[in-house]
A and B are shown apart, each in its own frame.
Chain A
């Protein structure tokens, strides 16, 4: 089974609607990154969470890490075409570990 799973794999949302993407780990996280990737391009850093219960926001994007530090959600409010892309979570399992990335959630925004 996968160490890190993202859901859903893909999502189509009407412009203006809210949406949530989830990232679930089979092990307790040391830290969790969220990145966005446009098709054929590199990853853009969004946020990093480390403390249980932590929540961070940037513009209309909010990310939370649960108290048990095994699940994170990314919530977009009032989605816009510019939010379209692939959202990847990346897990750190210790202070000395590499980032393990999820397979991503492909988000499309319908006008």
Chain B
């Protein structure tokens, strides 16, 4: 089945230790998104790629970076995780920018 896959599902890292979260898709969608969702809050868009074009949200901290080496994969790099970065990180894809977004299962990040 076509889907959005996120690995790992759970990630524990230490304060300040870089961490990379991964997302892959078999939908062949052009757009890939990264959201941060803290407990009982709405998902917050960090950035998205339309093909290779990177679009950063204005309030996304510099600590967060992303890479999209090809259509299928997108990575979220957190350079120096702080305690406040502990959250669920959701990857989503859509065929076009204004089309329905399909989400992966998320990666829950814990920062010790």
Q: Does B90 contact A (CB under 8 A)?
A: yes
Question: Which of A33, A45, A102 meets B42, CB within 8 Å?
Answer: A102
Chain A: number of interface residues, binned into ranges: 20 to 34
Q: Does A76 contact B (CB under 8 A)?
A: no
Shortest C-beta distance, B90 to chain A (Å), equals 6
Asked if A103 contacts B106 (CB within 8 A), the reply is no
Q: Name the A residues within 8 Å of B98 (CB-CB).
A: 92, 95-96
CB neighbors of A among B33-73 (8 A): 40-43, 45, 48, 57
Question: Which of B6, B43, B104 meets A101, CB within 8 Å?
Answer: B43
B-side binding surface: helix, strand, loop or mixed? loop
A-B CB pair tally, cutoff 8 Å: 45
One of A35-43, A52-60, A64-72, A77-85 at the interface: A35-43
* Count, chain B residues at interface, CB 8 A: 22
Q: Name the B residues within 8 Å of A42 (CB-CB).
A: 4, 6, 90, 103-106
Q: Does B75 contact A (CB under 8 A)?
A: no
Complex Cα spacing A45 to B99, Å: 12
Shortest C-beta distance, B77 to chain A (Å), equals 20
Given A98-B45, A102-B42, list of 12 further CB < 8 A pairs?
A40-B106, A41-B106, A42-B90, A42-B105, A43-B92, A45-B103, A88-B43, A92-B98, A96-B98, A99-B45, A101-B42, A101-B43
Asked if A40 contacts B108 (CB within 8 A), the reply is yes
Question: Which 8 interchain pairs have the tightest Cβ spacing?
Answer: A42-B103, A101-B42, A43-B103, A42-B105, A42-B106, A103-B42, A101-B43, A42-B104
Complex Cα spacing A73 to B105, Å: 25
Q: Name the A residues within 8 Å of B42 (CB-CB).
A: 88, 100-104
